[in-house]
Amino acid sequence: MRLIVTCDDSGSAKEVVCTPGTDTSKQDKPQPISITQVFVEPKASPASRIVYSTLYQQRYAVCCRLDASISVYDLEDDEKKLVCHREYAELKGSKPVSLHVFAGFDALVMGLDTGKAALVMFHKNALEEECKVVELPGGKPIDALEACPSQPGVFAYGGKENDLRIVKVFEAGKKIKLLKSVEVLFAAKNVKNDHLDLRVPIWITKIRFLPAKDSFKLITATRYGQLRIYDTNHGRKPAHDYQVCTNPIITLNFAGTNFDEVIISDNKNMVARHSLVSIDKKAFKTNSATAGDIVKPVPRSLGKYQEGGNTGAIFGVSCFKDTFVATGGLDRYLRVYNLESRELVSKVYVGSQIADILFLEGEEEEESEDEVDEEEENNALWDELESSRPAKKQKQT
């Protein structure tokens, strides 16, 4: 397995190469093949630490830093050399909340906490010197901005007291063309008041688009431990509103390619998997002096990724196909689990708090290559045996 974890303490990253069974917390277990510090250039410091990373053309790592600067690294280079680094004056004072690469259009969009989105184009694997900044409707800070995978140019965003909106920012033809004004496609409404007739606060932390044909379907996570599912054909309020925990949800990912299940983590130590189609109707229970017992439905819990002893918040969660899920956070351990069984596969101490994870290679790729080599050797051996076998004599009549 090969992974890159971004380090909060140093502002750089580390490339971890290990095999299943690796555990640095136990001396009698296999140890990592290598742990190498990478992405050191141009200025590795906590003030400019990497907060989000993604791939471009499967060869380059694109990283946005806390100061809204962007770095591009060549993953095929042994030292992961810096290809390009850009700092944009227009983004000064903003912090990234997301990073999305559109490889087919040689572009990236970075969501900013100031309620803006920055569009930057690639040119020959480097970033252009200019960026275009788009003001998002609402004029409020945001904590999440997500790109619609089926419709390039469409984004969803939200934040503290900034409810979900879906907007169209650009037209995606042969080239990207920014709209003269951002088009609002959907604006959500809050859920009804609670049992005390008090307004329910809004604080969206993460957003994911769900597959849909004739509408937009999304799932949001909140700082109040809620998962909300929206269907724009259903109305402006959430179609489903679930209280899955009492702590802030800080990551939200689909379980591999399965869009019916999500993996969430909170600001304590929980990493849990939930079904979006199997619902426990009486899973969440609370008591009110005025309303008595209150029972609410909750997506069925499919278990937690907790083997190996998570300590502290988990900020980085990355799935590799339908095989593995990697996690990392405050306790400085990179953990890799089997996605389905939730068993711990590898545990590596990296010596720095982890903000994000790029899962580059899984062990099954190496196994498949070994199997091919073994099959070729077997075939060659049989061919050799056949050629050395004496020819049968023909019977004379």
pLDDT digits (tens, 9 = 90+) for 161-212: 999 999 999 999 888 999 999 999 999 999 999 888 899 999 999 999 999 9
List the one residue out of 273, 117, 236, 113 whose CA is nearest residue 182. Answer: 117
Residue 374 has pLDDT above 70, yes or no: no
Q: What is the DSSP secondary-structure string of 118-183?
A: EEEEEETTEE-S--EEEEPTT-S--SEEEE-SSSTTEEEEEEBTEEEEEEEEEEESSSEEEEEEEE
List the one residue out of 178, 113, 258 whose CA is nearest residue 167. Answer: 178
- What confidence category does residue 69 fall into, taking pLDDT thresholds of 50, 70 and 90? very high
What's the one-letter identity of residue 238? P
- Count of all residues that appear for the chain in the document: 397
Residue 387 has pLDDT above 90, yes or no: no
Which element (helix H / strand E) includes 374? helix 363-388
- What confidence category does residue 367 fall into, taking pLDDT thresholds of 50, 70 and 90? very low
Other CB atoms within 10 Å distance of the CB of residue 366:
13
Sole residue written with tokens 């004072």:
93
- What confidence category does residue 323 fall into, taking pLDDT thresholds of 50, 70 and 90? very high
Q: In this structure, what token pair is assigned to residue 24? A: 């640095």
Computed over every residue of the chain, the mean pLDDT equals 90
Euclidean distance between the first and the last CA atom of the chain, given in angstroms as a whole number: 66
Q: In this predicted structure, what is the pLDDT of residue 263?
A: 98
- What confidence category does residue 65 fall into, taking pLDDT thresholds of 50, 70 and 90? very high
Segment 47-51 shows an average pLDDT of 91
Q: In this predicted structure, what is the pLDDT of residue 197?
A: 86
Segment 379-389 shows an average pLDDT of 62
Query: Which domains occur in the chain, in start order?
Result: 2-374 (2.130.10.10)
Cis before 390 (ω within 30):
no
User: Rounded to 5 degrees, what are φ and ψ at 325?
Assistant: -135, 130
Other CB atoms within 10 Å distance of the CB of residue 117:
25
Q: What is the DSSP secondary-structure string of 44-85?
A: --GGG-EEEEEEETTTEEEEEETTS-EEEEETTSTT--EEEE
Find all residues with CB under 8 Å of 323, minimum gap 6, and list them: 256, 338, 339, 362, 364
389 contacts 383 by C-beta, under 8 angstroms: no
Please state, for a pLDDT cut of 90, what percent of the chain lies above it: 78
List the one residue out of 159, 38, 35 whose CA is nearest residue 97. Answer: 159
Q: In this predicted structure, what is the pLDDT of residue 174?
A: 85
For residues 122 and 55, what is the distance between their CA atoms, to the nearest angstrom? 13
Residue 366 has pLDDT above 70, yes or no: no
* Lowest pLDDT segment from 66-70, 132-136, 283-287, 360-364: 283-287
Segment 137-160 shows an average pLDDT of 97
List the one residue out of 313, 333, 344 whose CA is nearest residue 245. Answer: 313
17-40 pLDDT per residue, tens? 999 999 999 999 999 999 999 999
Q: What is the DSSP secondary-structure string of 244-281?
A: --SSPEEEEEEETTEEEEEEEEESSS-EEEEEEEEEEE
User: Rounded to 5 degrees, what are φ and ψ at 377?
Assistant: -65, -40
Sole residue written with tokens 């995978």:
149
Helix/strand/coil for 92: coil
Q: In this structure, what token pair is assigned to residue 363? A: 């062990």
For residues 249 and 205, what is the distance between their CA atoms, to the nearest angstrom? 7
